[in-house]
Amino acid sequence: MDIITLSRCISTYLGQDLSSLQSDGSENAFIYFTGDIVQQSVSLAPEIAKAEEARYSEKKYKHIASVKRLTYLLNKNIKRLEKCNSNGKDYLPLLRAELKKFKQLQHTWTLSL
């Protein structure tokens, strides 16, 4: 839940900085990554629940793989946002730290299924 909350707050903060047009009239490409981190973080909880509820190991592993993929993509988009030109990028290490804790919990959780 902390990952969802942090990603939404960071996305809102970065979105305000990145929403203005650049000097050549184009939009900032980093604005899309802010939405991606929110979408990926929100998608984590349902996939975890589906893995917990699945009766067959094949379906469990499918949802576990989805959670791993989402955390990988989330981490990748955080790295991309760290390159943006905004004061909000200072908050990205907080999200990265939460994601690191989540990965450790994810490993233990995967072994328990």
Give how many domains the chain has, as a whole number: 1
Give the Cα separation of 56 and 39 in Å (integer): 27
Q: Tell me what the mean pLDDT of segment 83-112 comes to.
A: 90
Under the banding of pLDDT at 50, 70 and 90, the label for residue 97 is very high
User: pLDDT, tens digit, for every residue of 8-27?
Assistant: 999 999 988 888 877 888 88
pLDDT for residue 1: 85
Measure the CA–CA gap between 71 and 84, rounded to whole angstroms. 20
Q: What is the enclosing helix (H) or strand (E) of 11?
A: helix 2-18
Predicted local confidence at residue 106, as pLDDT: 92
Element (H, E) at 60: helix 57-81
**What pLDDT digit, counting tens, does each position of 25-83 carry?**
888 888 999 999 999 999 999 999 999 999 998 999 999 999 999 999 999 999 999 99
Range of the domain at 14: 3-112
Region 87-103 average pLDDT: 90
**Count of beta carbons in the 10 Å neighbourhood of residue 50:** 16
Per-residue tokens: 87: 């004061």
Which of 17, 30, 2, 110 lies closest to 62, judged by CA? Answer: 110
pLDDT given at position 111: 87
Cα 62 to Cα 14: distance, rounded to the nearest angstrom: 33
